[in-house]
Amino acid sequence: MQASFPNHPLITVVLTILLLNGSAACVESRKTGSTTPAATGPETPVETAGGSPQTDTDAENPAPPPSGEVARVEPTPVATGSGSLSSEEQALLDHHNRVRADVKVAALTWSDKLKGVAAAWGQKLVAKGCVMEHSKGSGYGENLYMGSAEYFTMEDAAKSWESEKKFFTGAPLDGSNWYKSGHYTQMVWSKTTEVGCAKVTCKGSLIVICNYNPPGNFMGQKAY
C-alpha cells in the first residue's frame, strides 16, 4: 500500500530526515555485516574464514600411547646453552621446563638429534600436503601442533599442550584420560629427559613437531 500526503512542507521535511537516516543505517549495516571479524591475536585465537588466527593441535588425535616398553634409545649429546638454540627453541624449551617445575619434575635438556628427527618428519608432512599425522616407529614420544604462521610461534605449541592440564587427574593413563591430556602428560612425563623440536611452514600454517626421549604416555602408568 502506498501512502499519499497533501503538499505540506513539515511532512516533507520529516520524510526527508527519515529517508536519510534509513539510508545511513543501511550503509552502516553493509560496512559491518559483511567484513571478516577482526583478528584477536594469539591470546584468543578464533577460527574463521579470511585468514584470522586459527590453531589446531592434534588434540583429537594425540600420539598413541606405547603398549609396552620400547627398545632403549641411547642418550645423545644435548645442547642446553642459549648460544646453541634459536630464541624460539629456547623459549619452547624453557616453557616445557616451567611446566615440569610446576609439578616438581626434573628439567629436560635439548637434543639436536631429536630436533633432526622432528625436522625430517615435518618435511614429510609438508610433502603430504600439510597434514597432521604422527610418525610411526621412531621409538620417541611425539607432540604435534598447527597454527597460523602469521600469528603463532613455537612456544605457542607448548602453551597449547599445557592447556590440557585442566583434564589431567594424576591417575594412571587409560583410554579416556590419555585422549584429553596426552600432550600435557608427555610434556611432564618424569622418565623423559630430553626433547628436540622443529618447525615447518606450509600454506600459511606453522607446524611444530616435538620428539621426546625416553617416550612417555605408557598405559597403566602415572606421568610422575
Q: Are the CB atoms for 95 and 159 separated by under 8 Å?
A: yes
The model's confidence at residue 93, banded by pLDDT at 50, 70 and 90, is very high
Q: Are the CB atoms for 92 and 154 separated by under 8 Å?
A: yes
Residue 161 lies in a domain: yes
Give per-residue pLDDT as tens, 11-36: 333 333 333 333 333 322 222 222 22
Tell me the mean pLDDT in the region 84-97. 97
Higher pLDDT pick, 63 / 210: 210
Could you give the angle at the alpha carbon of 51 between the alpha carbons of 148 and 89, nearest 5°? Answer: 15
Is residue 75's pLDDT more than 80?
no
Q: Are the CB atoms for 105 and 168 separated by under 8 Å?
A: no
Q: Can you give the residue range of the structural domain that contains 166?
A: 55-213
Give the cell for residue 174.
Answer: 587409560
Mean pLDDT (the chain, rounded):
74
Give per-residue pLDDT as tens, 149-183: 999 999 999 999 999 999 999 999 998 888 899 99
Query: What is the reported pLDDT for 176?
Result: 84
Rounded distance between C-alpha atoms, residue 224 and residue 219, angstroms: 13
Residue 176 lies in a domain: yes
Q: Are the CB atoms for 208 and 145 separated by under 8 Å?
A: yes
Q: What is the CATH number of the domain that holds 163?
A: 3.40.33.10
Residue 34 lies in a domain: no
Rounded distance between C-alpha atoms, residue 18 and residue 119, angstroms: 64
Query: What is the reported pLDDT for 43?
Result: 30
Could you give the angle at the alpha carbon of 133 between the alpha carbons of 122 and 195, nearest 5°? Answer: 55
Q: Count of domains in the chain?
A: 1
Backbone angles phi, psi at 203, to 5 degrees: 55, 40
Residue 27 lies in a domain: no
Quote the pTM value: 0.68
Q: Are the CB atoms for 100 and 192 separated by under 8 Å?
A: no
Residue 191 lies in a domain: yes
Is residue 224's pLDDT more than 90?
yes
122-127 LR contacts (CB < 8 Å, sep 24+): 122/198, 122/199, 122/200, 122/207, 122/209, 123/200, 125/200, 125/202, 125/207, 125/209, 126/200, 126/202, 126/207
Residue 153 lies in a domain: yes
